[in-house]
Structure 1
Amino acid sequence: MSPAQSSKSKEALPTQKFVEVKGTKDGVLILKNGSLRQILAVSGINFDLKSEDEQQAIVASYQSFLNSLNFSLQIFVHSRKINTESYVEHLQELEAREVNPLLKTQLGEYREFIKSFTIENAIMSKNFFVVVPYDPIQIPGKGSGGVLGFFGKKKKGAEAQKKQADAEDATITKQLSQLAQRTDQITTGLNQLGLRSVALNDDEVVELFYNLYNPDAVEKKGLDLSDDNEKKAA
């Protein structure tokens, strides 16, 4: 391979090469080192509008919640420009169906106002997330950890590889179950604080990472924290 071809191949490396995520399974992130991560979208509360007694109760409950955990958590806030395209399209459809000339004119003026306002002013939304981790036990001298690290190097032969694959599947299923227990603990604790949480599915995880790595682009859709979506997740 010539130096020019080598340089071109290096420039063509996809973004995935620099992300520590190997894939997703049922909304769970599987990292390249075998660790697992569950991302929860969490609703918010307006702390400033609470009374002093309510604020103290929330702080005390939050402190008790954190003290009950025997593992770490990642909490992050993602600020994002709101995508108003679907709303503008909805207004355009209403305008097209309206038969009253006055209302039709008002809808058109309102639609143009929304379009011009969002161009001149960035309307931001904030989404709150909690990342629940599970890091498998690493055995010294057995590779890089995780499922493959637990079983060491792959054995040769189709039968040996099949046994190894079955053992790996059983191990990751057990790890997913342990992560689910942690997630249930976090969901229950947040619910006691008055915060509703929903585990992201595969599509929502992909969109979240797309939004994180493409900050200049508007999001395709928002995250639904409604009760119906929570029942589906359950």
Structure 2
Amino acid sequence: MELPEIKATTQDHLDMADIREDLVVLKTGDVAAIISTTAVNFALLSEMEQDALIAAFSMLLNSITYPIQIVIRSKRVDISNYITKVVKVEQGLTDPLLKRQVQSYRKFVQDLVKVNDVLAKRFFVVIPSRSTGFQERGSTAFDWVGKMFGTHTKRVKVDADQALKRAKPELLPKVDHVIGEFGRLGIKARQLTTQEIVELYFEIYNPSSAEAQRIRTDIGDYRTAIVEPAILEE
């Protein structure tokens, strides 16, 4: 029995073509680096420290002559395991005063999560390579309509090796510059590895299963982080 021709896949809705060498290769042929940063509690700083931080941040912005994207990812956190650990600590205490304090703390946390969501925030800076102006031959401004319904008949395969070769000399100095400028703010920044980028995208596209399912195998065991679809020609 001849299998029907696959005209569309879920990967048509993804923007990335490949993830390798700690960089993301987009379907446009562009390449992007992702930097993860810590945060500073601005409200807890003194007025002098706040002024110094604002001045340093303005210097960071003025030193950047290329586009960047700042992403703040908020994620609900299940603290039931944490509550269980607190209960075990509470049960193991023999001092009545300490036990009452831990019990009061546990009730406070339990009441707090009933009213407010507990969120974990992660901060990222995305640095893209200079646009290549890549466009599929014969494409139009309304191609997205056909792609949405799976009616397009052609996919363009991005040459990831060439894209990385072209983008790395441009991106790496930018990454070093941004990380150094964040260091002046007292913020630790580092570039995400291939494994971390894959795990990040997995959490974004699989929010319901990401909690129970993890990518435990090192991504280097795979030939590519993104499954390559067949190229369909007209």
| TM score, norm. by length of structure 2 | 0.61
1:219/1:132 Cα in 2 relative to 1: closer, same or farther (>3 Å)? Answer: farther
Q: Using the TM superposition, give the Cα deviation of residue 210 of structure 1 relative to its aligned residue in structure 2, in angstroms.
A: 2.6
Q: Give the length in aligned residue pairs.
A: 192
Matching of residues 173-212 of structure 1 within 5 Å: 173-212=165-204
Aligned to 1:131: 126
Aligned to 1:228: none
Higher helix share: 1
CA RMSD of aligned residues (A): 4.3
Aligned to 1:28: 23
Matching of residues 214-229 of structure 1 within 5 Å: 214-216=206-208, 219=211
Question: Letter of the aligned partner of 2:26 in structure 1?
Answer: L
Q: In 1, Cα distance between the equivalents of 2:44 and 2:22?
A: 34
Q: In 2, Cα distance between the equivalents of 1:140 and 1:207?
A: 29
Q: Using the TM superposition, give the Cα deviation of residue 118 of structure 1 relative to its aligned residue in structure 2, in angstroms.
A: 6.1
Matching of residues 1-234 of structure 1 within 5 Å: 13-14=9-10, 16-84=11-79, 87=82, 122-138=117-133, 169=161, 172-216=164-208, 219=211
Question: Does the 8 A contact of 2:34 with 2:191 survive in 1?
Answer: yes
| Structure with higher RCO (Cα < 8 A, 6+ apart) | 2
| TM score, norm. by length of structure 1 | 0.61
1:46/1:115 Cα in 2 relative to 1: closer, same or farther (>3 Å)? Answer: closer
Question: Identity over the aligned pairs, expressed in percent?
Answer: 28
Task: For structure 1, list consecutive stretches of 5 or more residues without a partner in the other structure.
Answer: 145-152, 155-164, 222-234
1:41/1:65 Cα in 2 relative to 1: closer, same or farther (>3 Å)? Answer: same
Q: Using the TM superposition, give the Cα deviation of residue 173 of structure 1 relative to its aligned residue in structure 2, in angstroms.
A: 2.4
Question: Does the 8 A contact of 1:80 with 1:218 survive in 2?
Answer: no
Q: Using the TM superposition, give the Cα deviation of residue 79 of structure 1 relative to its aligned residue in structure 2, in angstroms.
A: 0.6
